[in-house]
Amino acid sequence: MRKFLIIASIFGYIMSATGKISITTEPWGSIDGKTIEKITLKNSKKQEVDIISYGATITAVRLPNKQNEVDDVVLGFDSIDGYKSAKNPYFGATIGRVANRIGNGEFTLNGIRYNVSKNIGINSLHGGFSGWNAKIWNTTIDNDRVIFTLLSEDGDEGYPGSVIASTTFKLNDNGELLVEMKAFTSKATPINLTNHSYFNLAGHGTNAKEIYNHKVQINANEWTVTDSESIPTGEIRPVKNSLMDLRNLTRIGDVINQVPGGGYDYNFCLPEKTCMDKIQFVAKVLHPESGRYLEVKSNQPGVQFYTSNFLPEMGKEGILGKNNNEYFKHGAFCLETQNYPDAINHNNFPNSILLPSNLYKHVVIYKFGIKE
């Protein structure tokens, strides 16, 4: 265990300081007597990011538009009670130990069959019933960044190996929110982390009316085909001549309702699939009226593009979010950089097994700006 703690202590020293950034911290409720901390990162461009220690979760991203009006552009809740609720669809959380789905909630590793939590029918989703999104992470402020660390015990949700993980957030004056997720394990285990922020660049409460006006571009020539329960079949199919071809900026409202399953919830395969040290362009999203844009870069082989298909239908009771706004179907989009879903069960997918001799490192950069 001492070895794990030493490794965890060095995880935060990963990014150089640039620009004038302020960081403030305050208590934000408690769970079982443990204080939840909220950290606010601010840069000189009127951009602000709130993150809480529960789930290492992004709870707010406040950005100006081209009229210099500031809006919060991620979905979330006003209190810790919302994030603890069963109605929380993983808003803004760090997802682990394995993001996305594992078919039948099982896999074989080194000749041993493992059964993990089946929290979505017969399958496993986002780490199980109490994944890393539902745990309180330890918090450290280091100069211009905040570092969250977590110990996941051997057998947690059925997974082998004790894992020490860290998630570091840094905002710079170039409008970049840099997120770096690392993990070290005592036994071979699958690892696939992601951040699950729900974005709406028009403002978090504007729902599908404005999401349909967003334009999206995804740097992918292929995608992973899934069955009726969103479990990959193993087939990797070209995007060409299909609704999955988003290589050029495409208005979401022009295509979303033609996509099987009620919208996008698919993994897109990025050009670089094995080089974890290379940061590549993932996607760009633009909201023309506000001028706000988001560019995503990462070192991961895939990205799950999700358009909030499972939020309540308009006309029904929505999810009550921040400032008494209700969130509905297609009210936001997610760009979850990660390995391919169910990679542990498909030999033709990129490797998802972390060995004790290796370090898992996942970098994602969200760059926010204004197009005049």
pLDDT number for residue 294:
98
pLDDT number for residue 19:
52
196 annotated active-site: yes
Q: What CA–CA distance (Å, rounded) separates 332 from 305?
A: 11
SS3 letters across the chain: CHHHHHHHHHCCCCCCCCCCCEEEEEEEEEECCEEEEEEEEECCCCCEEEEECECCEEEEEEEECCCCCEEECECCCCCHHHHHCCCCCCCCCEECCECCEEHHHEEEECCEEEECCCCECCEEECCCCCCHHHCECEEEEECCEEEEEEEECCCHHHCCCCEEEEEEEEECCCCEEEEEEEEEECCCEECECEECCCECCCCCCCHHHHHCCCEEEECCCEEEEECCCCCEEEEEEECCCCCCCCCCCEEHHHCHHHCCCCCCEEEEECCCCCCCCCCEEEEEEECCCCCEEEEEEECCCEEEEECCCCCCCECECCEECHHHCEECCCCCEEEEEECCCCHHHCCCCCCCEECCCCCEEEEEEEEEEECC
Any residues with CB less than 8 A from the CB of 336 and at least 6 apart, and which?
95, 99, 100, 194, 195, 196, 303, 304, 306
Question: Mean pLDDT for each 10-residue chunk of the chain (372 residues)?
Answer: 41 42 96 97 97 98 97 98 97 98 98 98 98 98 96 98 98 97 98 98 98 98 97 98 98 97 97 80 98 98 98 96 98 98 98 97 98 84
pLDDT number for residue 226:
97
**Contact criterion met (CB below 8 Å) for 57 and 161:** no
Q: How far apart are the first and last CA of the chain?
A: 52
> How many Å separate Cα 361 from the centre of its chain?
14
How far are the Cα atoms of 58, 99, 181 from residue 303, in angstroms, in the given order?
A: 18, 11, 15
Active-site hit among 210, 336, 346, 362: 336
Residue 315, Cβ density class (10 Å: 0-12 exposed, 13-18 middle, ≥19 buried): exposed
336 annotated active-site: yes
pLDDT number for residue 2:
43
pLDDT number for residue 277:
74
Active-site hit among 37, 126, 180, 196: 196
> How many Å separate Cα 208 from the centre of its chain?
20
Per-residue tokens: 9: 């202590």
pLDDT number for residue 5:
42
Architecture of domain 2-370: Distorted Sandwich (2.70)
Any residues with CB less than 8 A from the CB of 281 and at least 6 apart, and which?
219, 295, 296, 297
Domain boundaries, the chain: 2-370
